[in-house]
Structure 1
């Protein structure tokens, strides 16, 4: 069954469940109204003496039962609605109608990054929006980090194995998406990790024993008073407790004030952790990730449940009826000491739990993409020392373009032929080709499948100058912004990894004479430093650079055809230099008199 068929089946299943639950909910609404009226009638008859009082309880009991059962139906409606929406969004991704509906990762946008803006890694309609299913900020940050820097080959292979295992776990992905709805805004990850890393200071076992003994003595003294013994024992016990509380009040107050938010955040976190703990994994990466969660032989959800119970008891202590007994038994002090001991034991693990969950969510995001695109293979990783820097893509396409509309091309760059100079008319596909290469490198080196029939590549740094804009705030023209970026790209050749450069309409902001000299110098410098790359241009004079590089460069082009006043593009890469331009035809087509 194809991903679209499976999503549609699950969506229809949830819609059927939703319709049945909504019909049942309507029946419960009517039943509750009837029972409420019956309750009023029975009460009136009982007050009038026409009906035994105990019979008036019957409609009340039935009314309460109806409310409880109706609430369960309402919860079913909410879950079915959210689940249906989850699969509906999956269907939208498969149709190519997902842009602007998901998490765009706007907070990760960074104009100074060497390729993020140019390759649409973040923002509406971005690669991040297509991939991300993370429900925690830590998971989003981990996925973003993977897309912003190449991983080591061993790490990439480990991620590939994990993604391959998670690929078909649809129920797990759906459950995590639903369970995590409150986590993105509800859990303060940085504060939670910082709280766990703080040293626990109020942990002395003797204080906990003293508090428990004083509480028992006070309770025994109170019982003795009730059966006829003197009050002096109660007063003595209370005086002892007061002295103890004066001694520990600052630490108890501090612990209790600091405990509320971490306890709530961890409770939200445990719902997702419990679901992950239920899964059995076979790949080494996921098995190690799961095993690393346990602390002293207990799963994180079990450890967090211990702390949550302490928090619940503290909440009871705020109840006006329970508060006097809680004071007499020194329960707040005992809870504070127990919470600090939990923090001493498990606090340092909180950051590890968050880190493991972030890793899992990032892997799960890549696995969702892998499931939805079963024809996209994992790339073959080639060590640089074997044959130099390499990008060899057969039938590569852009993953942000719906597969039905995606035109694919072969692109091969090697240490021997390291440059493609791409000429062609406006809108013919030159910039899209560069983005296609760059985005597939980003996916490959993050551990994800790629949009290609086959892709072999070495580890590469990517540097791009595609989406260059001027800045009024910085007082920088487009030309200055471009040469600044070009300097950044050239500096990347000094890094350990070979560079893949992607330069669109290089130096188009200056005159043709300076452009020819400047572009040739930059391109030759990059090639001589072992970089691979693509350069697009409208200026056919720049295509002559290929002759000057003595076989290291190759001219290719995209072409167009004018039919009945309309431009047609095949978006196929052809050998050689483009022989015609469509600029004048386009100007005439929009009504300009040229």
Structure 2
């Protein structure tokens, strides 16, 4: 249609200019039609992009339900869309976490195929930061209860999650909370109310002097005086005005999308305490923050019109354009700048809650855990690992409390010992973040978590795996000074000789038990299993079994009481072709 309209325009132009059959005014008709078609085509393209993002949103939800959610596993349009893949693939803000964190690497909290990738629907850095923070540190029992209520209320809010998912082209790349916070809270550069009032008067004086000079043949001295006052005023504030205008030159898109996010969230009316508190954090001086942000966006857009060469040469100097808008922007910032951080935090927490509510919606059989405020305990019935496909999961039940603080898990290679530690740890992380858990039932107290499942050596830091492990054990011991600890120790101290290992492991475990910690320890060293007997009834032995079937090792992955009675190391070596 646009091509046809263009052909019609050139045809009518020839008729108007050549034979002059029609008036030139008729050319306005195809121009108007062309403008309407361009606008309509852009709306259709925007609708198409929105539809693609909505399809990708639902495809990713289906992928999570069907256990094909890991990066690269989502097919079709979801693979090509920012919504259809983890943000960690593109910007990875939380995959490069602190390697000394007591459990993040050990429990696959971040990275490809991680808990964060499974859970996160956040489209802003604030949302990702809030969810990451919840997964990295336990909340108080009161906060957990508030999050559980909020997640339960949001569980069926599918329209809200869809709207947030398809809002804007790339919200995550656009909104920079660090910049917004710094900009909103920095000291005010232009404070004088008198100067702000004088600026439009000087602009009027300069325009009036020109009208008087050219229209009424007035004195040129009046023009010189008016422009001298105006120029001196602009020169006095030039450096501060430039600092203000430079700081808002780029983030118009950021603020526009921020306004859209706020406007969508402002429509919601919630009942649970956590959501009501977050909704209240978005209120400011009786006006919705989305309108205040939109007001700022309009001021920046008007300010940026000074970049037009023709306007910059004549209109902007006469109107003191940059100076007046710099004063207006600083006035806005003095009124609302400190609230930006509060708005960003509220959006971040709401996005984190939406992520967890989506997980709850997609996994209706996963219950909320019971958080107890007294004692130290972790009880899990039919615990399963949330990152493993449901069809491959084997459930196990564990109980740890003041009466039984330690489980020593023995078993052969690949029998499931490390996976059990991760299963307990990841479900504890979910529980202490306020999320549902992958279990029939779970009951636990508020705990710090420490693990040595994936401790690595470091060439850059010049540390061996053994040294890295004993540093982590020291850190876990330090955690016990502040709150009860759940420890998950995999093949403790296997990087040293048998004698030192036995003495050191027993000392570390006894130290943790004496400090009130609870936890699980896996081992191949059957000598360590005797520790459970000396600590009984505070400790107990459990094991995993396997057997050889048609030349293949078969594992049942179920926890059995007692000590393992056989090893499969030699059988596995022969199975891969080693002559032993």
Tell me whether the two structures share a fold, i.e. TM-score over 0.5. Answer: yes
Cα pair 1:379 1:455 within 8 Å, conserved: yes
Q: Does 1:540 align with 2:526?
A: yes
Deviations 1:62-81 (A, max 9, x none): 33333222222111111111
Instruction: Report the alpha carbon displacement of residue 45 of structure 1 after superposing the two structures with TM.
Output: 4.7
Which residue of 1 is the match for residue 505 of structure 2? 519
Deviations 1:54-106 (A, max 9, x none): 45555444333332222221111111112211211221111211222413454
Q: Given the alignment, which residue of 351, 355, 368 partners 2:345?
A: 355
| Greater shift in the superposed pair: 554-563 or 97-106 | 97-106
Q: Given the alignment, which residue of 314, 317, 337 partners 2:303?
A: 314
Instruction: Report the alpha carbon displacement of residue 589 of structure 1 after superposing the two structures with TM.
Output: 1.8
Cα pair 2:107 2:426 within 8 Å, conserved: yes
Q: Does 1:88 align with 2:74?
A: no
Instruction: Report the alpha carbon displacement of residue 141 of structure 1 after superposing the two structures with TM.
Output: 1.7
Cα pair 2:259 2:290 within 8 Å, conserved: yes
Instruction: Report the alpha carbon displacement of residue 515 of structure 1 after superposing the two structures with TM.
Output: 2.5
3-state SS of 1:534 partner? strand
Which residue of 2 is the match for residue 49 of structure 1? 19
| Greater shift in the superposed pair: 440-449 or 566-575 | 566-575
Counting matched residue pairs gives 560
1:148-227 to structure 2, matched below 5 A, reads 148-179=136-167, 181-225=169-213, 227=215
1:292-371 to structure 2, matched below 5 A, reads 292-323=281-312, 324-371=314-361
Which residue of 2 is the match for residue 259 of structure 1? 248
3-state SS of 2:68 partner? coil
Which residue of 1 is the match for residue 458 of structure 2? 471
Deviations 1:403-442 (A, max 9, x none): 2322211111010011111111221111111101111111
Q: Does 1:103 align with 2:87?
A: yes
Q: Given the alignment, which residue of 552, 564, 568 partners 1:566?
A: 552
Structure 2 unaligned spans of 5+: 72-84
Which residue of 2 is the match for residue 33 of structure 1? 3
Cα distance in 2 for partners of 1:472, 1:214 equals: 66
3-state SS of 2:254 partner? helix
Structure 1 unaligned spans of 5+: 1-30
| Greater shift in the superposed pair: 255-264 or 159-168 | 255-264
Q: Does 1:245 align with 2:229?
A: no
Q: Does 1:62 align with 2:62?
A: no
Cα distance in 2 for partners of 1:264, 1:275 equals: 17
Cα distance in 2 for partners of 1:300, 1:521 equals: 57
Cα distance in 2 for partners of 1:513, 1:448 equals: 43
Q: Given the alignment, which residue of 489, 496, 503 partners 1:510?
A: 496
Cα pair 1:396 1:452 within 8 Å, conserved: yes
Which residue of 2 is the match for residue 442 of structure 1? 429
Q: Given the alignment, which residue of 1, 22, 47 partners 1:76?
A: 47
Cα distance in 2 for partners of 1:426, 1:181 equals: 48
Cα distance in 2 for partners of 1:411, 1:289 equals: 37
Instruction: Report the alpha carbon displacement of residue 557 of structure 1 after superposing the two structures with TM.
Output: 1.3
Shift of the 320–266 alpha-carbon distance from structure 1 to 2, 3 Å rule, reads same
Instruction: Report the alpha carbon displacement of residue 224 of structure 1 after superposing the two structures with TM.
Output: 4.1
Deviations 1:523-548 (A, max 9, x none): 22221221111111122222211111
Cα distance in 2 for partners of 1:470, 1:255 equals: 48
Which residue of 1 is the match for residue 77 of structure 2? none
Cα pair 1:423 1:537 within 8 Å, conserved: yes
Shift of the 329–469 alpha-carbon distance from structure 1 to 2, 3 Å rule, reads closer
Deviations 1:132-177 (A, max 9, x none): 1222222222211111111111111111122222221112112212
Which residue of 2 is the match for residue 556 of structure 1? 542
Cα distance in 2 for partners of 1:50, 1:212 equals: 49
Deviations 1:19-64 (A, max 9, x none): xxxxxxxxxxxx3333334444444455542742545555444333
Shift of the 211–285 alpha-carbon distance from structure 1 to 2, 3 Å rule, reads same
Cα pair 1:380 1:455 within 8 Å, conserved: yes
Q: Given the alignment, which residue of 417, 423, 446 partners 1:430?
A: 417
Deviations 1:242-263 (A, max 9, x none): 2322333333233222232455
3-state SS of 1:311 partner? helix
Q: Does 1:408 align with 2:400?
A: no
Cα pair 2:266 2:282 within 8 Å, conserved: no
| Greater shift in the superposed pair: 192-201 or 325-334 | 325-334
Cα pair 2:404 2:539 within 8 Å, conserved: yes
Q: How large is the Cα RMSD of the aligned pairs? A: 2.2
Cα distance in 2 for partners of 1:420, 1:46 equals: 94
Cα distance in 1 for partners of 2:28, 2:246 equals: 44
Instruction: Report the alpha carbon displacement of residue 321 of structure 1 after superposing the two structures with TM.
Output: 4.1
Shift of the 202–478 alpha-carbon distance from structure 1 to 2, 3 Å rule, reads closer
